Amino acid sequence: MYNVLIVEDDPMARKLLEIFVATSENYHLVPSLDSAAMAELYCMTNRVDLIMMDVCTAMDVSGIEAAQKIKKNYPHIKIIIITSQPEYSYIAHARQIGVESFWYKEPTAEALLKVMDRTMAGESIYPDSAPVTRLGAALSNDFTERELEVLRELVSGKTDAAIAETLCLSVTRVKQHIQRIREKTQFANRTELAVRARESGLVIGDYKHP
């Protein structure tokens, strides 16, 4: 039987995951955490075989950041990143830091348990891509990676000059990217674009690559 640690800040979602995991006899739940900040300490003091790690957790601590530390110090612990956010870069970052599996939240126990079983059997389960979301007149896969990077910085409330500095681009280039995104989405101005992008979850403004 594997010890499973759930790290999820939303009590309802946590409860749902606990119910899902409890339906299987292969897994034993250890007390869940609402913040990834405490996950490493928990792994240090208790036996944990599998972590179900949410990306955005309490205390504003990133689950991917915490997973990176845990994989470094406790490589034997398997981790499944779970999220409902369509933020496009999560999958790539999770792969990069060596996380075994990635699961977009679904309301069925069977789907989750299947991912857990296959992960514990040594498989790496990743979705092909982030869920396609709509942003104005465009779909999330209509944007280039650079445009999404610019959009993320824009959503953070940065000026063109600040975006240019962060992404090592010229201000003119940043303006061009924003103009192209606006043409694709058909939003009237950059404020509407920033607000709708933030609401869509396509880019999380505060999210930084670990």
Partner 1 sequence: MITYAALPMSLKTIIATLFFLTMTAGICTSLIVGKKQGKVKLILLPVCTAVMAAMLLLYASVIRAERAPAHIPAVSLWFEQQPVILLLLVWLAIAAFFGMVIIEEINRRKTEITPSSIKESLDQLETGLCYAQPNGLILLTNHRMNELSHAIFGKALQNANLFWQALTTDPPVDGVERIASGEQPEFRLPDGTVRSFRREALDGTIQITAADTTRQHRLVGELQDRHRDLEDMNARIRSYGDKVDEYVIARERLETRVNLHGFLGQALLMTRHYLQYESGDPKRIIDVWQRNIEVLRMEAEPRQETDSLSSLRNAAKAIGMQVHVSGPLPDSLQQQKLIAAMGAETLTNAVRHAGAKQLWIDMEQTETSHIIRYTNDGTVPTGPVTEGGGLSTARKKIEAAGGLLRIDAEPRFMLTIIFEKGVTMDV
Using CB under 8 A as the binding rule, whether residue 177 contacts partner 1 is answered as no
Using CB under 8 A as the binding rule, whether residue 205 contacts partner 1 is answered as yes
| Edge-to-edge strands, sheet with 27-29 | 27-29, 2-7, 50-54, 78-83, 101-104
User: Residues touching partner 1: how many (CB under 8 A)?
Assistant: 43
How far apart (Å, rounded) are the C-alpha atoms in residues 109 and 117?
12
Question: Is 33:6 a contact under the CB 8 Å cutoff?
Answer: yes
Using CB under 8 A as the binding rule, whether residue 65 contacts partner 1 is answered as yes
123, 145, 183, 199: residue in contact with partner 1 (rule CB under 8 A): 199
How far apart (Å, rounded) are the C-alpha atoms in residues 158 and 20?
41
Count the Cβ atoms, other than its own, within 10 Å of residue 90.
22
Using CB under 8 A as the binding rule, whether residue 45 contacts partner 1 is answered as yes
Residues 115/119/120/123 CA torsion (nearest 10 deg): 130
**Binding region for partner 1 (CB under 8 A) out of 56-64, 90-98, 138-146, 169-177:** 56-64
* E strand or H helix at 115: helix 109-120
Question: Is 54:27 a contact under the CB 8 Å cutoff?
Answer: no
Using CB under 8 A as the binding rule, whether residue 84 contacts partner 1 is answered as yes
Question: Is 83:127 a contact under the CB 8 Å cutoff?
Answer: no
Nearer to partner 1, 39 or 138 (CB): 39
Restricted to residues 178-197, the positions that interact with partner 1 (CB under 8 A) are 190-191, 194-195
Restricted to residues 24-43, the positions that interact with partner 1 (CB under 8 A) are 31, 33-35, 37-38, 40-42
2, 16, 175, 182: residue in contact with partner 1 (rule CB under 8 A): 16
Count the Cβ atoms, other than its own, within 10 Å of residue 152.
25
Using CB under 8 A as the binding rule, whether residue 44 contacts partner 1 is answered as yes
Restricted to residues 140-169, the positions that interact with partner 1 (CB under 8 A) are 155-159
> By the criterion CB under 8 A, which residues form the site for partner 1?
10-13, 15-16, 19, 23, 31, 33-35, 37-38, 40-42, 44-46, 58-61, 65, 69, 84-85, 107, 155-159, 190-191, 194-195, 198-199, 201, 205-206
